[in-house]
A and B are shown apart, each in its own frame.
Chain A
Amino acid sequence: MKTFENLLPKLVIAPGFVLGFAFIYGFMIWNGVLSVTGSRMLPNYDEFVGLEQYVRLWDMDRWYVALKNLGIFSTLYVGGSLVLGMVLAIFLDQKVRAEGFLRTVYLYPMALSFIVTGTAWKWILNPSLGLEKLMHDMGWASFSFDWLVQSETAIYCVVIAGIWQSAGFAMALFLAGLRGIDDSIIKAAQIDGASLPRIYWRIILPILRPVMFSTILVLSHLSIKSFDLVMALTNGGPGYATDVPATFMFVMSFNRGQIGLGAASATMMLATVAALVVPYLYSELRAKPHDR
């Protein structure tokens, strides 16, 4: 009986462990294996090519475009959502009337899927359908906003749509953080004669640090897997100017019959994420015993 009680927790955790291992790490390993084969249309395990797929990958202009776009998109998207969300949260924290209504308005974009956001912004930013045409119809004939159709600027349209989607979410998190701050700290600062901007800059923002970190964590993983937004908004175009690693991987593996190359690009994405997450996990795990 004693042994059963000892075994029970292990038995309960075992299925989850096995499934998790098979479906998370198993697929990662499978992907790694595929990336060193010459697989084209179907997986082919007989043809070992070593690192050839990686050499091909790093020789492709399109891959560099995808990486550069990911860099531009994640920096601006995370930064923009943070700043805009913070500003909205501070404004909304001024005890305004109808706060509940306004909060819903700001948060609403988050309820939409990226596909909807992408499609809507595709129309808004299209020069002959949306904003530019509206301005022309209203008489402002010299207005020009054709970023979506220019190779160099199209990625910034993806950023705009992304920020529109996520700023409300950042705002909600910051607002919750702001509400958690003890009023007496602020009052004490006011008695000391600190101005309002100074109170925000020196006291409130430092207190919000943990909230900021969780927001960055959520937004940065959203930015790395931004596949649907790009697909709906630009479909990677014009040309492949707005390709990101996720769309690159999809196109190579499933449209072009280059599963090996696609797997290599997926491995590179995994390596990038691991490079960010592993030091973080390491510091977290090391800090734990110290806390106790």
Chain B
Amino acid sequence: MLKLSQLATAVALVVAGNAAFAGEVEVLHWWTAGGEAKSVGELKTIMQGKGHTWKDFAVAGGGGDNAMTVLKSRVVSGNPPAAAQIKGPALQEWAAEGVLANLDATAKAEKWDELLPKGVADIMKYKGNYIAAPVNVHRVNWMWANKAVLDKAGVKGTPKTWDEFFSAADKVKKAGLIAVAHGGQNWQDFTTFESVVLGVGGAKFYSDALIKLDQKALTSATMTKSLETFRKIKGYTDAAAPGRDWNLATAMVIQEKAAFQFMGDWAKGEFAAAGKVPGKDYICAAAPGTDKAYTFNVDSFAMFKLKDAAAQKAQADLAASIMGTQFQEVFNLNKGSIPVRLNMDMSKFDDCAKLSAKDFVATSKTGALLPSIAHGMAVKPAAEGAIKDAVSQFWNDDKISIADGVKNIAKAAATK
């Protein structure tokens, strides 16, 4: 296979430019859109301030699938970048391949163990050693609502339970508007599903069913109830939802065509870009029944093993900078997420981010701080993909009975 790996090197070189020099960090990421690119620029400035050279290795393409393909060819050919945007259990898979560097020295000097909630820190570790630096926290179990639409429909207050939600949605429907703006892509179906399971079953059930993949929980009556609720929501979406991008669904809420959307806090960027003010124009609230819990999606940079000593030093500085207060604040202001550090000053952030940060700290103490399965934080890609398939198939095909839906999801969860 030697020949083939050399070929891969050649291909990767054409794609990525040339090999690394001393004191240089090459960072693979797919943050190429407006606010995201600005956020990365901040990290670059910090690194240059410390005397290192920054080499951007940006591969466009939303979910990072393209970037991962390029990264694999680089790693297989023995020429990895210094850092790459990898998150969740995929970190463990990379670490198991033996290509990631140990960041314990930096982590100890910077006191990461004290700054990070345990649930987040565990994801950044492989066999007890830090292998990645977390960048931000996105909350996934949000519900976004347009205030004007709710007023028009005569809905008072924000629904706190699913029953309240359905009665509110009925009122919106009666007023001739779409109750739920949904983008029918499998990950969006899955995002809604995750919030429903958390809202119906609570944190303990979510953890048993969707993190530990316990078959007893997956086939329980609570799961049946979750799927009933999940299917009921579909009745409040419009016919054109399948295939719609998430930001178009958000636009429906912004433009007063729809009342609610279930989506992570990156949706806030769309509201902000349209000049909307939280609390006045739109409402951000935890999805019904989930206000005492928090599903998180943490982006992180994994550090690869490098031979050059100067490059290793630059890499350690990069890891420290990522967790530093300056970067955490500026980056997350641009990105719409919140800092992953627990003791940050939130005064510059908006109300939604403040609520998010408050709940983040509170749930980290009660054990209700949970990794999001829909965003690749909870289980390995194989099982996640299989469950996503089953959930999305259930959502899209009304002929699948609730009992079969439960069975399909439980079977998918057994994928290794």
| 5 pairs of A and B residues whose beta carbons are closest in the complex | A128-B240, A238-B396, A239-B393, A149-B242, A239-B396
Q: Is B36 an interface residue (CB 8 A)?
A: no
Residue ranges of B at the interface with A (Cβ–Cβ < 8 Å): 1, 4, 63, 65, 68-69, 72, 75-76, 90, 93-94, 97, 184-186, 189, 238-243, 380-382, 384-385, 389, 392-393, 395-397, 408
Q: B392 to A240, Cβ gap below 8 A?
A: yes
1/0 contact string of A121-145 vs chain B (CB within 8 Å): 0100011110000000000000000
- Which of A127, A146, A151 has most B Cβ within 10 Å? A151
CB of A158 within 8 A of chain B?
no
Q: How far apart are the CA atoms of A183 and B157 in the complex, in Å? A: 82
**Majority DSSP secondary structure for residues of A touching B:** loop
- A149 with B240, Cβ < 8 A, contacts A238-B184, A238-B396, A239-B393 known: yes
| Number of A interface residues in the complex (CB < 8 A) | 32
Any B CB within 8 A of the CB of A40: yes
- Say whether B97 contacts A240, CB under 8 Å: no
CA of A168 to CA of B68, assembled, Å:
39
Separation of A208 and B240 alpha carbons in the complex (Å): 44
**Distance in angstroms between the alpha carbons of A234 and B244 in the assembled complex:** 10
Q: CA–CA, A151 to B381, complex, Å?
A: 24
Minimum Cβ distance to chain A for residue B155 (Å): 24
Contacts of B241 in A (CB 8 A): 149
In the bound complex, residues from chain A placing their C-beta under 8 Å from that of B72 are: 41-42
* A/B interface sample: 8 pairs, CB < 8 A: A41-B90, A128-B238, A148-B242, A241-B393, A254-B65, A255-B385, A257-B381, A258-B382
Contact yes or no, B381 A238, CB < 8 A:
no
Does A79 reach chain B (CB closer than 8 Å)? no
Query: A42 near B240 (CB under 8 angstroms)?
Result: no
Given contacts A42-B72, A237-B184, A237-B392, contact A256 B381 (CB under 8 A): yes
Q: When the two chains form the complex, which single residue of B76, B97, B397 contacts A151, counting CB atoms closer than 8 Å?
A: B397
User: In angstroms, how far is the closest chain A Cβ from the Cβ of B79?
Assistant: 14
Q: A128, A129, A240, A256: which has the most chain B beta carbons within 10 Å? A: A256
Contact A256 B382 (CB under 8 A): yes
Tell me the bound Cα distance from A257 to B392 in angstroms: 20
Q: Are A151 and B396 in contact (CB under 8 A)?
A: yes
Shortest CB-to-CB span from A243 to chain B, Å, is 9
Docked-complex contact A237 and B239, CB < 8 angstroms: no
Which residues of chain A are within 8 angstroms of B389 by Cβ–Cβ distance?
62, 239-240
Contact B76 A43 (CB under 8 A): yes
